[in-house]
Chains A and B, each alone.
Chain A
Amino acid sequence: MSWRFVSAIAVGTSHVRSDTPCQDRCAGSVLACPDGAQVFVCVVSDGAGSAAFAERGATLVCDRLPVLVGDALAASSDLDAVSDDDVRTWFLRLRDELRAHAGDSDADLRDFSATALLAIASDHQTLCASVGDGAVVVREAAGGPFEVALWPEGGEYANQTYFLTDDTVAERVAIRRFDGVADVIAFSDGLQQLALERSSRTAFEPFFGPLVRTVRESPASPDELARSLAAYLDSEAVNRRTDDDKALVVGCRTAAAA
């Protein structure tokens, strides 16, 4: 089994207006483990609007988290061998790396404030973890219902959340595990309004259905799909519902090689 995935980011209209860059980042990759397993890893990070180097913080999270995961799975792709403490250690390590980067730039750790969403999926196991806003949605079987694996975590108010750079990050890590899933989607808070139905606490099928169908069935190349996804994220229809930055990764387990 292999994975076909696509990812894209788009700047929010409020960032365009205030002349600030897109501060969301995301990354998808497939790890070929020595035991032959193909493991899909996706990361989404939203740099804090108030942080001076928000996009550098988010970029670092998306560059480094897959490497830490790769190191942990170097010997075996068994996700049950990765404890919750191991996951928390990745986030703490990332915070240390952000602090080191801040030091190099004569900046404060807070200047690199960013959230982190992570999903790791092998054929039979799935591990999702997050600090802060954004969400991970999974579908256990193609054609089945979508399930919100991790809900956005934050404070009482819509413009509050937790960051990887918080002192309390170890307590803020949310972790959920599933058996093998067919599809996994991670996205930043800019898409929450379109993708999640908070009142019924469900994933909005009309949003996710076409997404995974396209990734699974489109004859387009991954590059073409990524361009098309980026265009959708920057479309008038999406911008009517959100003025924030958007990041989205969609991964689908397929029989064929990606």
Chain B
Amino acid sequence: MNQNAQTPFEEGSVTPASGFETIEFAENPEPRCACLLVLDTSGSMQGPPIAALNLGLRSFKDELLSDPLAAKRVDVAVLTFGDSPELVADFTDAANFSPPDLRAGGLTPMGAAIWEALRRLTARKETYRTNGIAYYRPWVFLITDGEPTDDYQAAAKSVREGEERGAFSFYGVGVGEANMTKLAEIAPPNRPPVKLDGLRFRDLFVWLSKSMRTVSHSVIGQTIALDPPGWTSTQA
């Protein structure tokens, strides 16, 4: 929707479901780097894993806020899959991101979650363009401790095609008993999935925030050099 910040109640600008959502771009016109976290919250994540993941999300926000530009430029959303894919935190700049308190339960509908993630990402890019917001290549960061319980082949194909086109960068991370073989079928061949060392979610999110800071500060023609992740298990 094409809403002018100076005339918020322009005729037809207020629809039942929306109306004010684009005000965020008037407040913060910085270019955005979307980071969509796609998190497995299936029953097997219950207990220490989900607790560590929740703490990790809080560290993620804290780390992003320590960099004033990253706080404005990194656009975070969280999509979980347990019972069914659910966008528990819609895209917002890091400064306004409220880390959700995730609960574990249900199966692992990873294929459906990936579809939903890619759909949300495409819509977010469209919102940027409609509002004249410049943006960086978005990141999709998927974390799972299991294997898909639904059809994931077509979703995997979309991930690979999107990565190939440069539509986004996809990162796959396995936790605990995650089926790394299936995750490798989904992740792009040039960026195979990695295994988290134990429950080092905090280290993972500190690395992710650092990487997003690097991307959100990157300038024209710069080769983006990310730190090697220090949180992966060597037996991945």
Bind each other: yes
Chain A residues with Cβ under 8 A from B68's Cβ?
240
Cβ contact within 8 Å between A244 and B219: yes
Cross-chain contact of B29 among A132, A160, A193 (Cβ < 8 A) = A193
Q: Does B69 contact A (CB under 8 A)?
A: yes
Q: Mark B137-149, 1 if CB is under 8 A from A, else 0.
A: 1000000000000
Scoring B29, B131, B134, B218 by chain A CB atoms within 10 A of each residue's CB, the highest score goes to B134
CB within 8 Å for A198 and B134 given contacts A158-B31, A240-B68, A243-B69? yes
- Residues on the A chain within 8 Å of B134, using CB: 158, 192, 198
List CB contacts (< 8 Å) of A13-31 with chain B: 14
- Is A198 a contact partner of B69 (Cβ separation < 8 A)? no
Would you list which residues of chain B between 11 and 38 have a CB under 8 Å from chain A? Answer: 25, 29-31
Closest residue of chain A to B135 (Cβ to Cβ) is A158
Interface presence of A163 (CB below 8 A): yes
Q: Does A183 contact B (CB under 8 A)?
A: no
Is B132 on the interface with A (CB-CB < 8 A)? yes
Q: Are A49 and B131 CB-contacts (below 8 A) given A158-B31, A193-B29, A240-B68?
A: no
Say whether B221 faces chain A, with CB atoms less than 8 Å apart.
Answer: yes
List, in ascending order, chain A residues with CB within 8 A of B166's CB.
Answer: 156
Asked if B222 is at the interface of the complex by the 8 Å CB criterion, the answer is yes
In the complex the two chains form, is A159's CB within 8 Å of B218's CB? yes
Partner of A113, one of B215, B218, B221: B221
Q: Main SS of the interface on chain A?
A: loop
A185-200 contacts to B (CB < 8 Å): 189-190, 192-193, 197-200
Interface size class, chain B: 20 to 34
- What are the residues of chain A within 8 A of B136 when measuring CB–CB? 157-159
Interface residues on A, range: 20 to 34
- The yes or no answer to A70 lying at the interface (CB within 8 A) is no
Q: Is B217 an interface residue, CB under 8 A from the partner? A: yes
**How far is A51 from B223 in the complex, measured between Cα atoms in Å?**
9
Residue contact B132 to A201, C-beta cutoff 8 Å: yes
Complex: chain B residue closest to A134, CB-CB: B220
17 interchain pairs, CB-CB under 8 A: A49-B218, A49-B219, A49-B220, A51-B221, A113-B221, A132-B220, A133-B220, A157-B135, A158-B135, A159-B220, A159-B222, A160-B220, A189-B220, A193-B31, A198-B134, A240-B68, A244-B219
